[in-house]
């Protein structure tokens, strides 16, 4: 083994010798500097962000911002390759599913020890950027789970709902059953058995959580998970949700294929920021309502749409702080960005967002305002194995819906695997 | 002596070809027509043809990102692809000829090792290569994408193996004749083998061009700034995890992105002609 | 002796650029990848030595076996079908008739369009529950066709079909190979009284064996490396029925941050593909015919 190691070292050192110079010199004067800002997003977000950067550079002549952006596909491969390769960007757009991984490996800076003014943000939402009590990420904004519905389809079925008064899960199920009976070739609701967000809501409505606070174990009880699988399986058997093959084609994020788009169902549960796109895709007027859950246990929650983080290794700490503050709080930035990165957790910025918004966005903002009032405790940051567990839940739910295993057995399987993944960390 | 089919046979061939063409091309029509549909129609309507035709996806999509339009992305992809074609032709002919025709120590071992490098997924070798290129200061330039093709790394082992197979199929009497005429190895390579390898060289060019044009992962990893973006990294910007993807723009630009490759192929495939030696020499 | 030395020297001259790449890039990253397989490596912090623990957990990983099975099925079904189809089409396209160039382009377009997200969506559309394919099946009397791409039983075959649809690169290699066959051989065969079918089996096929061999070896290697189809079209599902080996490896490495584990997977893959390729090379002695070497008349 030693010889092999020597071989590797020598092969790599050939490359090192060949290299004329290492990383490019970055000026590290106290205030100025050249900072790399990395984000994912579509054409729109990127163009808006580029504009904001130009404004920022104009206001801070000593700072130069180099943008790096990609679509969501590939963003995490690129970021981890760069980080592993010793080339981490200074300011990073972060996601809930990945935050803890980057924190655990000591790559991010504790933002409570910086000059960023944290007093302007909503406390509870700010907590969603904390890992082990330290703040590593500030939410750019929040989204809330919402029940999207097609009012005209409900009217046709002769039913109605009150968007501000949450249903219980049982009420939702019977509503779905009624619609299936009343309307030909229509399902009551999309099947959400495999969605971790909806399951989280379900668990919270029973006074539970999905993950424990320290992210080292599952907090949801076995019986709740079994109930959850049974809930959707029963609806599927009754024809109130699409059949398993239909549901299996709707993997996470592919909202363009949702039954509500195709007029196959009047209901779907999605994130509030997807509302505008959903209306466009469906090509008709939709509405937002509180998802099922009842309100005794305060199940509703806000999810950070994304965060800003700063690399621990940054050579331009002050400049990075300035940029993050600007992106989060500047009125000029809000004017350009609108709610693209979510509904702000800074109340004065949120007001500005509301004033600039078009009708659809106004609907979304007022919905998020409503959930903010109702929300219970914030969700802890995802465990490091979150990606793995989400995939596991998707697969397990598919096995239940395709009737390869019973809900009880599926629950046991899921618990064994998830527990061991969480333990490993 | 060309073998020309009789008229009835000709008709049969055409009929088979046309039916096959329709089946093969049909899936692409879906994308083509979707690129002319307004966003509200793409997923909500089941009909193949748009109800309302629009060019908005072509004009909006072309605007690109971060102040750089698809003009820049096409130019970058073109530069990259052409450079990789040159690199691939260079390395595959030299190395392929050596492996196919020359005897040397370690030949089988080296050849085996070259094949083995193709059996490791690039997702694994990416990290060490990134470290090397980062140390060289090459990240955010075209160098990590071009230089490997000149020294037989990344996609080029495929081409080297292809050349080996092709050259091994060329009659060996040619070499002997050339040696008798006083050609040295380099002259044999340049005067005899290269001209006879035209079909293989065209094949290598088409593949090297297209694979670079279509490559996403390494371009994503190595190119940071929008002025260096290529078509495939540009296309990636239309997609979003939260579902707010710009489908129409994506389809429109995807359609445009295959045009240069089609044109190149249309132009190059004409040169699929027989080498000089194979038409007459043997018998 | 002298001549052999001279030729060896000349060979290394020709190989010089390739050897540089080998020493600087390939060997280094190849060895490094092997080293990673014996470490805990999360991509972000430095690797730490882990002995053979990655391999141990690999062999008790249920999904590892599933992904291996899925990939083997894909290799065994798609490689021969693609080979036969591309060979037949290439033979058809190797005629000198008007408009042949257009056909060649049309047949090549599917391969040019790649496996982007756009292709994924259109492919999902055609093979979905009420997609075009099922409309055709229903019109010829099949009452309840399956939902192909989202049915765990059939999803893999949709991906196989996609790979056959993209048969263009093999087709082109065969076209190039066909151009290498001297007309004189056909003439000789015609004089001997062989009809077209006989000519195909006794002239075309044997002369094409180097290219068949190439496509077989590369097709096998590439089929083992299949990733994108599973990644963009089915995301490995439903119920992991399209969880290709490299897709699982990618997930472990880049999504679950177990790069050491992924490296161990890649070593196992290397051995498996190596065995397959080695086997093909061994058999090649018996059926591959090189005009330039012994046996060419």
Q: Which residues of C touch A388 (CB under 8 A)?
A: 255-256
Structure tokens given for C215: 């496509």
Q: In this predicted model, which residue has the larger pLDDT, B122 or B278?
A: B122
**SS3 assignment, position A70:** strand
Question: What are chain A's domains?
Answer: 31-142+304-374 (3.40.190.10), 144-302+380-424 (3.40.190.10)
> What is the least distance, in Å, from the CA of B216 to any CA of chain A?
9
d(CA B185, CA B183): 7
Q: How far is B199 from chain C (nearest CA, A)?
A: 5
Share of residues in chain A with pLDDT > 90 (%): 62
User: Which chain B residue's Cα is nearest to A76?
Assistant: B221
What mean pLDDT comes out for the span A11-15? 43
Does residue C104 contact residue C277 with C-beta atoms inside 8 Å? no
Predicted local distance difference test score (pLDDT) of residue A8: 46
Alpha-carbon distance of C189 to C196, in angstroms, equals 10
Q: Provide the pLDDT for residue C189.
A: 86
Residues in chain C with CB shorter than 8 Å from the CB of A248 are 147, 150-152, 237-239
Chain C contact present for B192, CB below 8 A = no
| Each residue's pLDDT tens digit, A393-413 | 999 999 999 999 999 999 999
Q: What element of type H or E holds B214?
A: helix B198-214
What's the pLDDT score for residue C296? 40
| Percentage of residues in chain C having pLDDT higher than 70 | 97
The CATH code that applies to domain B76-236+246-272 is 1.10.3720.10
| C95 with B5: Cβ contact below 8 A | yes
Whether residues B28 and C112 touch (CB distance < 8 A) is answered with no
Q: Which pLDDT tens digit goes with each residue over C206-251?
A: 989 999 999 999 999 999 999 988 888 888 879 999 999 999 999 9
Report the pLDDT value the prediction gives residue B147, as an integer from 0 to 100: 94
Of C32, C44, C240, the CB nearest to A83: C44
Enumerate the H helices of C44-94 as residue ranges. 53-59, 62-93
Interval B199-220: pLDDT, tens: 899 999 999 999 999 888 889 9
Given pLDDT bands bounded at 50, 70 and 90, which one contains residue B275?
low
> Distance (Å) from the C-alpha of residue A405 to the closest C-alpha of chain B?
30
The pLDDT assigned to A52 comes to: 94
Closest CA–CA distance from residue C17 to any residue of chain A (Å): 15
Please, which pLDDT band fits residue B5 given cuts at 50, 70 and 90? low
Residue of A nearest to C61 (CA): A417
- Strands A302-310 and A138-149, by their bridges, are antiparallel
Query: Are the C-beta atoms of A180 and A240 separated by less than 8 Å?
Result: yes
Tell me: pLDDT of A208 over 90: yes
**Where does residue B9 fall: left (phi above 0), alpha (psi -120 to 50 degrees), or beta otherwise?**
alpha
- Establish if C43 touches chain A: CB-CB under 8 angstroms: yes
State pLDDT tens for residues B110-155.
999 899 888 988 888 888 888 889 888 999 999 999 999 999 888 8
- pLDDT exceeds cutoff 70 at B243: no
B272 neighbourhood in chain C, CB within 8 Å: 175-176, 179
Contact across the interface for B115 and C277, Cβ inside 8 Å? yes
The span from the CA of B130 to the CA of A291, in Å, is 46
Return the pLDDT at B178: 84
Residue B3: per-residue pLDDT: 54
Q: H helices within B103-197, ranges in order?
A: 107-117, 122-135, 143-150, 156-168, 173-180, 185-187, 194-196
Assign C289 a pLDDT band (cuts: 50, 70, 90): confident
Indicate the domain borders of chain B: 76-236+246-272
At residue A29, does pLDDT exceed 90? no
A272 or A28: which leads in pLDDT: A272
pLDDT in tens, B148-185: 999 988 889 999 999 999 898 888 887 888 888 888 88
C-alpha distances out from residue C192 to A134, A250, A292, C202, Å: 87, 62, 83, 12
Give the mean pLDDT of A174-190: 92
User: Can you give the length of chain A in residues?
Assistant: 425
Distance from CA of B145 to the nearest CA of A (A): 15
pLDDT at C1: 58
Q: Which residues of A398-425 are buried (b: 16+ CB within 10 A; e: fewer)?
A: bbbbbeeeebeebbeebeebbeebbeee
State the pLDDT at residue A24.
39
Closest residue, chain B, to A276 (C-alpha): B244
**How close does chain C come to B132, measured CA to CA in Å?**
8
Looking at residue A184, its pLDDT comes to 86
* pLDDT of B280 above 60: no
pLDDT reported for residue A11? 46
Residues A291-305, mean pLDDT to the nearest whole number: 90
Question: Of A7, A80, A395, which has the smallest distance from its Cβ to C239's Cβ?
Answer: A395
Are the Cβ atoms of A81 and B43 closer than 8 angstroms? no
Give the three-class secondary structure for A303.
Answer: strand
State pLDDT tens for residues A333-378.
988 888 888 899 999 999 999 888 888 889 999 999 999 999 988 8
| Cα(B229)–Cα(A110) distance, integer angstroms | 33
Q: Is the pLDDT of residue A295 over 70?
A: yes
Contact A282 B44 (CB under 8 A): yes
3-state SS, B181-198, equals CCCCHHHHHHHHHHHHCH
From B25, B121, B171, residue closest to C106, measured CB to CB: B25
Contact A385 C256 (CB under 8 A): yes
Which CATH class for the C62-287 domain?
mainly alpha
Question: What is the pLDDT at residue A14?
Answer: 41
Contact B124 C263 (CB under 8 A): yes
Domain boundaries, chain C: 62-287
- A95-99, A185-189, A293-297, C169-173: the lowest-pLDDT one: A293-297
pLDDT of residue B237: 84
Which of B43, B61, B134 is closest, CB to CB, to A85? B134
Residue C42 pLDDT exceeds 80 = yes
Phi and psi at A64, nearest 5°, equal -120, 130
Whether B44 sits inside 8 A of A85 (CB atoms) is no
CB contact under 8 A, B217 and A282: no
Binned at pLDDT 50, 70 and 90, residue A65 comes out as very high
- C4 — pLDDT class (breaks 50, 70, 90): confident
């Amino acid at each position: 083994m030693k010889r092999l190691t020597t071989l590797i070292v020598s092969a790599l050192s050939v490359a090192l010798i060949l290299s004329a110079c290492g990383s490019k010199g970055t000026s590290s004067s106290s205030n100025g500097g050249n900072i790399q800002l990395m984000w994912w997003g579509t054409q729109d977000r990127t163009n808006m962000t580029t504009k904001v950067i130009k404004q920022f550079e104009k206001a801070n002549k000593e700072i130069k911002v180099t943008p790096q952006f990609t679509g969501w596909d590939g963003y995490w491969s690129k970021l981890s390759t760069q980080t592993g390769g010793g080339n981490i960007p200074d300011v990073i757009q972060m996601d809930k599913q990945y935050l803890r991984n980057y924190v655990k490996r000591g790559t991010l800076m504790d933002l409570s020890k910086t000059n960023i003014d944290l007093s302007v943000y909503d406390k509870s939402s700010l907590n969603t950027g904390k890992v082990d009590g330290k703040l590593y990420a500030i939410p750019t904004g929040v989204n809330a789970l919402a029940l999207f519905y097609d009012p005209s389809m409900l009217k046709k079925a002769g039913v109605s709902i009150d968007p501000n008064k949450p249903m219980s899960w049982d009420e939702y199920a019977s509503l779905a059953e009624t619609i299936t009976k009343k309307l030909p070739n229509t399902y009551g609701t999309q099947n959400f058995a495999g969605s971790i967000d909806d399951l989280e809501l379900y668990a919270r409505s029973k006074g539970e959580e999905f993950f424990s606070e320290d992210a080292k174990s599952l907090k949801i009880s076995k019986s709740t998970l079994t109930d959850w699988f049974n809930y959707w399986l029963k609806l599927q058997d009754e024809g109130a949700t699409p059949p398993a093959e239909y549901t299996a084609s709707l993997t996470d994020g592919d909202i363009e294929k949702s039954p509500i788009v195709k007029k196959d169902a009047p209901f779907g549960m999605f994130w509030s920021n997807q509302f505008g796109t959903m209306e466009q895709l469906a090509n008709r007027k939709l509405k937002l309502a509180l998802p099922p859950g009842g309100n005794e246990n305060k199940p509703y929650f806000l999810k950070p749409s994304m965060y800003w983080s700063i690399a621990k290794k940054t050579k331009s700490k002050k400049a990075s702080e300035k940029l993050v503050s600007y992106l989060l709080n500047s009125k000029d930035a809000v004017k350009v960005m609108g709610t693209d990165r979510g509904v702000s957790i800074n109340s004065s910025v949120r007001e500005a967002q509301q004033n600039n918004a078009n009708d659809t966005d106004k609907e979304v903002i007022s919905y998020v305002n409503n959930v903010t009032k109702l929300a219970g405790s914030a969700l802890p940051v995802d465990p490091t194995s979150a990606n793995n567990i989400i995939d596991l839940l998707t697969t397990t739910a598919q096995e239940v819906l395709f009737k390869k295993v019973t809900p009880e057995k599926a629950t046991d399987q899921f618990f064994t695997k998830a527990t061991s993944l969480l333990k490993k960390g | 002596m060309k073998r020309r089919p009789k008229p009835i046979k000709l008709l049969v061939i055409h009929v088979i070809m046309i039916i096959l063409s329709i089946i093969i091309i049909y899936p692409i029509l879906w994308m083509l027509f979707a690129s002319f549909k307004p966003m509200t129609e793409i997923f909500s309507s089941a009909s193949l043809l748009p109800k309302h035709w629009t060019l908005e996806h072509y004009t909006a999509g072309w605007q690109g990102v971060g102040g750089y339009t698809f003009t820049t992305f096409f130019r970058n992809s073109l530069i990259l692809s052409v450079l990789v074609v040159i690199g691939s032709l260079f390395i595959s002919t030299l190395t392929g000829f050596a492996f196919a025709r020359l005897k040397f120590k370690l030949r089988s071992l080296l050849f085996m090792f070259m094949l083995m490098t193709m059996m490791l997924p690039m997702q694994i070798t990416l990290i060490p290569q990134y470290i090397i290129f980062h140390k060289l200061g090459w990240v955010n330039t075209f160098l990590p994408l071009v230089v490997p093709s000149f020294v037989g790394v990344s996609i080029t082992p495929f081409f080297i193996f292809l050349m080996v197979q092709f050259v091994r199929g060329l009659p060996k009497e040619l070499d002997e004749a050339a040696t008798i005429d006083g050609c040295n190895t380099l002259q044999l390579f340049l005067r005899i083998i290269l001209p006879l390898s035209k079909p293989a060289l065209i094949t290598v060019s088409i593949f090297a061009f297209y694979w670079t044009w279509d490559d996403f992962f390494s371009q994503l990893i190595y190119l940071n700034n929008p002025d260096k973006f290529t078509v495939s990294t540009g296309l990636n910007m239309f997609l979003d995890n939260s579902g707010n993807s710009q489908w129409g723009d994506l389809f429109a630009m995807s359609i445009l992105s295959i045009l240069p490759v089609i044109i190149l192929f249309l132009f190059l495939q004409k040169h699929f002609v027989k080498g000089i030696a194979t038409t007459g020499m043997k018998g | 002796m002298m001549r052999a030395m001279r030729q060896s020297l000349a060979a290394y001259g020709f190989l010089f650029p390739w050897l540089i790449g080998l020493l600087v890039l390939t060997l280094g990253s190849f060895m490094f990848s092997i080293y990673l397989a014996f470490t805990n490596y999360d991509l972000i912090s430095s690797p730490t030595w882990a002995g053979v623990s990655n391999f141990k957990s690999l062999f008790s990983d249920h999904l590892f076996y599933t992904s291996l099975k899925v990939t083997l099925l894909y290799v065994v079904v798609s490689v021969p079908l693609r080979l036969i189809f591309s060979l037949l089409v290439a033979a058809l396209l190797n005629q000198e008739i008007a408009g042949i160039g257009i056909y060649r382009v049309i047949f090549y377009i599917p391969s040019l369009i790649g496996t982007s997200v756009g292709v994924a969506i259109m492919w999902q559309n055609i093979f979905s529950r009420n997609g075009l394919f099922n409309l055709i099946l229903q019109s010829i009397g099949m009452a309840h066709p399956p939902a192909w791409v989202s049915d765990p039983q059939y999803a893999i075959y949709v991906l196989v079909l996609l790979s056959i649809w993209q048969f263009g690169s093999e087709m082109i290699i065969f076209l190039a190979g066909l151009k290498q066959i001297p007309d004189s051989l056909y003439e000789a065969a015609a004089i001997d009284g062989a009809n077209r079918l006989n000519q195909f089996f006794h002239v075309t096929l044997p002369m094409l064996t180097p290219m068949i061999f190439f496509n077989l070896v590369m097709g096998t290697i590439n089929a083992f490396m299949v990733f994108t189809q599973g990644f963009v079209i089915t995301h490995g599902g439903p119920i992991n029925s399209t969880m290709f080996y490299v897709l699982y490896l990618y997930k472990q490495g880049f999504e679950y941050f177990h790069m050491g584990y992924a490296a161990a997977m890649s070593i196992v893959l290397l051995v498996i593909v190596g065995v397959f390729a080695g086997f093909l090379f061994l058999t090649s002695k018996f059926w591959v015919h090189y005009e330039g070497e012994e046996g060419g008349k």
